[in-house]
Structure 1
Amino acid sequence: MDLMDNGGNAKRRFKDLSEPPWYRWKTKDPAERAIRFIETYCRSPKGVGFGKPIKLAQFQRDWITEILAPGVRQAVLQAPRGQGKSTLLAAIAAWAVFDRNPTGQPQVPIMATTVGQAARAVYDVTCKMVAAEPELDRRAIMYTAISNARIVVGYNGGECYPIAHDVDGLQGLDPTCAIVDEIGFQPLASWNAMVLAGGKREQSLVVGIGTPGVDRDKSALWHLRQVFKEGRAPAGFSYTELSAPDDCDYREESNWLLANPAITEGYLSIDALRNDVEMMPESEFRLFRLAQWVEGVNCWLGVDGRKVWQALRSGYVLKPGADTWVGVDVGLKRDSTAVVIGQRRPDGVLHTTAKIWNPRKDGAIDVSGVMAYLRELDRTYNLVEVAFDPRHFELPATGLADEGLPMTEFPQSPERMVPACGALYEAIMRSEISHDGAGDFERQILNAMPTHTDTGFRLTKSKSRGHIDAAIALALCYDRAQHPAKPLPKLVVF
């Protein structure tokens, strides 16, 4: 039979439609078959072992054994750069499209952000493996047109092809084994669409490998990792993580070896990491070389925002009765609310802590709880000012002012917020602010992104990051501590 590319040009006929030698293997275990197929028929297209059959590392063999166990429907591997992820996925794709499948015609889509990216990263590697091995090459036809790129296997009708992560385009698929490249940069909706497409068969697998991404809210890897860490993963979900311990010494080479088994296996040079650790910001080294989820990458505090913020941690304890400034940012529905407290240390540094309320299931915030907390602060400290944005807190603030709390309106207009955010940034860089090291406070500080204007920048929330209410409240708090309102003159009666 002749196959045509989408330009109408005839491609070559299948050279061999006979039963392949791997069909005669006695083992029916898919993991054993996959490992044997990869190490027999998949040749390395580059790097260590170029042109020779791939020799799987032990951690790769273990992972293949785990994800091809009966009942597994979804499989995720989180790993640093340089672990041979794309080559491994390409080899799995080759096995999945060439071997016998008990559910019928193999369908192996390879998903990335765009078709071109899927082709460059994994699909093209699979094509090179097929072309380099005569047993595979003569049994398949490879389409070359980018709009219809695919490998078609003659004797079993299998197809392997690149595809974009567009949710609508994933709906009609019927994959036996779906490959998701760089899952750390793929949206959860696309992963779910691929999983739902795979559920049409009695046996199917969606497999993704990736490095942690910068934007958690956009990362399927982050969401799936959370499901696993929180114990909510179903029985058919496999999650494996290669990473160094959180907050480890990122310069210690023994930690590199924990996250990078490819170094021990001999196909990742440790010299590359020695160079990177000197040239990269710490946050990027942890992200890409240690596979750690790092906050503060490229935020308003720079490329190493987490390091900048953590350097300001202090064990100072707020003193009852001392002058204290407060910033309040009340969020809209489905947003958080934050109250930041600031007090001068003996050395003049403003020490801060934060109280954060997350929205209820209905998306609302309990404003009465915020009011009660402010009253408690007023009883404990000498509140100088409580700065708030009147848009979302005007009525509660009026009631608190009637009770005697020193409430100060601070509209979050560009005219007010640009200088406040600029002054806060400079104070942080000069170490004129400290904090208690609370994790929720840190996360909201590092979630903030700068929006630049002609006169400076203000802090804004990115769709790809989380809440920033504590960052806004800190800006209000610091501004009022720097520019306290002048006290009203005392009334004198003659």
Structure 2
Amino acid sequence: MSPAATTRRPARSKAATRPRRTTRRRVLKVDHHKRWRPASRRGGTCGYTLDGKTCTRRGAHYCEPRADKVVKFFAELLIHPAGALANTRFELAPWQEHEIIRPLFGEVVWSEQWGRYVRRYSRATIVMARKNGKSALLSGIALYMLVGDGEESAEIYCAAANTRQAGKVFEPAVKMMRKSPILAARLKHIKNIRRLVDEKTSSHYEAIPSDADNELGHSPHCFILDEVLSQPDDTLWKAMVTGAGARTQPLMLAITTETTDQVSFGAEFIDEADRVMEDPARAPHHFAYVRKMPRDVDELERLWRLFPARPELPVSLDPWDEKNWAWPNPALGSFLSVQALREDAIEARTDLSKENGFRQFRLNQRVSQVTRWISMDLWNARTGEVAPTPDWVRGRLKGQRCWGGLDLSSKLDLTAYALVFPGGEVLWRFWIPESVVPQLAEHTGGKFAEWVEDGWITATDGDTIDYDTIYDDIETDHKAFRIVDITYDKWSGEPVRQEIVKRTRLTMVESDTTYLRMTPPMAELMRRLKSKDDELRHFGNPVARWMADTVEKKSPRDDPDRLRPVKPDRDKTGKRIDGIPALLFALDGSMRGLPKKSVYESRGMLG
């Protein structure tokens, strides 16, 4: 572990000593009147009254009755729709109430335009790890903005990466409405267009797609954008913000976990919220609630400086230390299970492919979109008997059924071909132009040249690959093994496919290296690597091992379960991964299995 990973908080004064952690519900002691706000005395006495309590403050201030109204709306009208708190009253957790709802709805400023006090915050950004109750909280806010905020003809919208994801925010609101007799009597659900309608005020709440081109005519009183990290750009956000200009006190609310794309709309959005959290004067209209695991010592010390004496702050940079989990997971210990987080941590700690997902979605930490995929411990454990030569492997597997995978490169680089057998055995062929060998030998300490000399790689004469050599070798394997089919990258070129079919009459199956086609075989390969049943044996192929040690995985920003293999920058590293996509193509074929016979063949009507 790096020195940074063990950095500890400096000693504190006795008054600031960290209290002992417990699983009891934490009581936040917050003086909302001391929160930073613009130094404005404009406006008369507030006078807002709720349940006999009247606000007598003036200028920019925290209006307690306004905040009370929203808190009571949750507690008295809303029922938790699901989870551990299902069918109980929605009593806000202390952090939800005092760190989000009360400041967001209680802070007001005088508006010269409207001649009254309005909400100070027209924009809000909430950044926290997943599974912390964001859907229920957002649904409650949406319902309040629909029926409790006093806006006529209010338009409330929620959007996400797609309509299905937006539905995850919208549907809990529908369930809350149905569980509340008051709201059920007042609101109408139009299911086919995902809309809740309040006919009393001619207002509606609707889930919309994230296609900004079709969302330019709205005048939102409230817009909720779920998972900013999944948005390709700021087009939708800007369309909604500009559309809200005619509203008295609009609320543009975005909630998200950290992104993996360092240069993106999501990254800039989160970074701006970070800056506002540190310096509220930067954007007095912007509410920022950011809870994430720091990446380095500077970020850690910044948190200690901004939030002194907060017991839930991280104590180090160690992602596996449970003391560091509470800050990015404010619901931990209440409705977020500590045990579930522990189980995820155990899996992530032993599986490189899951570590980034744990850091990003469970600790809300910004990580790289690309990560190393295969642990060499797993790979080495699936060696089987070490083959002295490639021909030794071919001799052992001769006559057996298998599936092929072909990853063709340009004429100037490495091409790989893999055969996967029912017993889990894997046989590779590699071809490369002879002129490229010295370059890769230099990057591998001379090993690449040794692999060529030992027969693990075939170097063809000249500066480009001799495709006839590839065709000849595949034809040789066709005669030696019972190849069911060959899955190949469709970008390899139609002439190559035609020539292989012409020579062998083998079935060639198109594929590619997209998330859709790569996720299943990548999951299957990882399953076999972890299996105790010896479902994969590569016989210590040194070229394949070099590539397995190099290959990285990439996932979409919002879905760590979808995968595709990627290579490091070739020009900078001299590394190659071609044998792994070839193996994945072959695995894809083996997962499809044998071609199904037609009913006429099974009846003996066709030979």
Aligned to 1:64: 101
For these two proteins, the number of residue pairs brought into alignment is: 317
Q: Tell me by how many angstroms 1:80 deviates.
A: 0.7
Asked if 2 retains the 8 angstrom alpha-carbon contact of 1:114 and 1:164, the reply is: yes
In the alignment, the residues of structure 2 paired with residue 55 and residue 463 of structure 1 have an alpha-carbon distance, to the nearest angstrom, of: 37
* CA 1:25–1:135: 2 relative to 1, 3 Å: farther
Aligned to 1:127: 174
What percentage of aligned pairs have identical amino acids?
24
In the alignment, the residues of structure 1 paired with residue 164 and residue 200 of structure 2 have an alpha-carbon distance, to the nearest angstrom, of: 28
Q: Tell me by how many angstroms 1:105 deviates.
A: 2.0
In the alignment, the residues of structure 2 paired with residue 472 and residue 203 of structure 1 have an alpha-carbon distance, to the nearest angstrom, of: 53
Asked if 1 retains the 8 angstrom alpha-carbon contact of 2:274 and 2:288, the reply is: no
In the alignment, the residues of structure 1 paired with residue 414 and residue 289 of structure 2 have an alpha-carbon distance, to the nearest angstrom, of: 44
In the alignment, the residues of structure 2 paired with residue 59 and residue 118 of structure 1 have an alpha-carbon distance, to the nearest angstrom, of: 25
In the alignment, the residues of structure 1 paired with residue 210 and residue 362 of structure 2 have an alpha-carbon distance, to the nearest angstrom, of: 26
In the alignment, the residues of structure 2 paired with residue 263 and residue 278 of structure 1 have an alpha-carbon distance, to the nearest angstrom, of: 17
Per-residue Cα deviation, 1:1-54 (whole angstroms, up to 9, x for no partner): xxxxxxxxxxxxxxxxxxxxxx97566854332221011111001112211111
Asked if 2 retains the 8 angstrom alpha-carbon contact of 1:108 and 1:178, the reply is: yes
Aligned to 1:108: 156
Question: In structure 2, which of residues 272, 280, 292 is the aligned counterpart of residue 227 of structure 1?
Answer: 272
* CA 1:277–1:24: 2 relative to 1, 3 Å: closer
In the alignment, the residues of structure 1 paired with residue 290 and residue 134 of structure 2 have an alpha-carbon distance, to the nearest angstrom, of: 13
Asked if 2 retains the 8 angstrom alpha-carbon contact of 1:216 and 1:464, the reply is: no
Aligned to 1:316: none
Does residue 92 of the first structure (1) align with residue 165 of the second (2)? no
Asked if 2 retains the 8 angstrom alpha-carbon contact of 1:283 and 1:303, the reply is: no
SS in 2 for 1:244: coil
Q: Tell me by how many angstroms 1:95 deviates.
A: 0.8
Q: Tell me by how many angstroms 1:72 deviates.
A: 1.4
Aligned to 2:318: 249
In the alignment, the residues of structure 1 paired with residue 201 and residue 184 of structure 2 have an alpha-carbon distance, to the nearest angstrom, of: 14
In the alignment, the residues of structure 1 paired with residue 343 and residue 222 of structure 2 have an alpha-carbon distance, to the nearest angstrom, of: 38
Which segment is superposed worse, 280-289 or 223-232? 223-232
In the alignment, the residues of structure 2 paired with residue 423 and residue 44 of structure 1 have an alpha-carbon distance, to the nearest angstrom, of: 60
Aligned to 1:275: 343
* CA 1:414–1:298: 2 relative to 1, 3 Å: farther
Does residue 206 of the first structure (1) align with residue 245 of the second (2)? no
What TM-score do the two structures reach when normalised by structure 2? 0.46
SS in 1 for 2:569: helix
Aligned to 1:415: 412
* CA 1:230–1:81: 2 relative to 1, 3 Å: closer
* CA 1:269–1:46: 2 relative to 1, 3 Å: same
In the alignment, the residues of structure 2 paired with residue 262 and residue 423 of structure 1 have an alpha-carbon distance, to the nearest angstrom, of: 51
Per-residue Cα deviation, 1:309-368 (whole angstroms, up to 9, x for no partner): xxxxxxxxxxxxxxxxxxxxxxxxxxxxxxxxxxxxxxxxxxxxxxxxxxxxxxxxxxxx
In the alignment, the residues of structure 1 paired with residue 72 and residue 444 of structure 2 have an alpha-carbon distance, to the nearest angstrom, of: 60
* CA 1:141–1:44: 2 relative to 1, 3 Å: same
Q: Tell me by how many angstroms 1:459 deviates.
A: 10
Does residue 302 of the first structure (1) align with residue 404 of the second (2)? no
The amino acid across from 1:155 in the alignment is K
In the alignment, the residues of structure 1 paired with residue 149 and residue 267 of structure 2 have an alpha-carbon distance, to the nearest angstrom, of: 34
Aligned to 1:38: 74
Per-residue Cα deviation, 1:56-94 (whole angstroms, up to 9, x for no partner): 112211212233333312111111111001110011111
Per-residue Cα deviation, 1:405-434 (whole angstroms, up to 9, x for no partner): xxxxxxx9762488789969x969x9xxxx
The amino acid across from 1:475 in the alignment is T
The amino acid across from 1:159 in the alignment is H
Per-residue Cα deviation, 1:92-149 (whole angstroms, up to 9, x for no partner): 1111111143x53221111122223312x0111101101111111111111111xx22
Asked if 1 retains the 8 angstrom alpha-carbon contact of 2:80 and 2:86, the reply is: yes
Matches for 1:72-91 after TM superposition, within 5 Å:
72-91=121-140
Question: In structure 1, which of residues 47, 52, 65 is the aligned counterpart of residue 88 of structure 2?
Answer: 52
Q: Tell me by how many angstroms 1:213 deviates.
A: 3.1
Asked if 2 retains the 8 angstrom alpha-carbon contact of 1:100 and 1:156, the reply is: no
Q: Tell me by how many angstroms 1:194 deviates.
A: 1.9
In the alignment, the residues of structure 2 paired with residue 427 and residue 156 of structure 1 have an alpha-carbon distance, to the nearest angstrom, of: 72
Asked if 2 retains the 8 angstrom alpha-carbon contact of 1:225 and 1:239, the reply is: no
In the alignment, the residues of structure 2 paired with residue 183 and residue 156 of structure 1 have an alpha-carbon distance, to the nearest angstrom, of: 30
* CA 1:52–1:74: 2 relative to 1, 3 Å: same
Does residue 143 of the first structure (1) align with residue 211 of the second (2)? no
Q: For structure 1, list consecutive stretches of 5 or more residues without a partner in the other structure.
A: 1-22, 305-411, 431-450, 480-494
In the alignment, the residues of structure 2 paired with residue 30 and residue 195 of structure 1 have an alpha-carbon distance, to the nearest angstrom, of: 24
Aligned to 1:447: none
Asked if 2 retains the 8 angstrom alpha-carbon contact of 1:183 and 1:209, the reply is: yes
The amino acid across from 1:283 in the alignment is N
Asked if 2 retains the 8 angstrom alpha-carbon contact of 1:170 and 1:197, the reply is: no
SS in 1 for 2:219: coil
The amino acid across from 2:338 in the alignment is I
SS in 1 for 2:258: coil
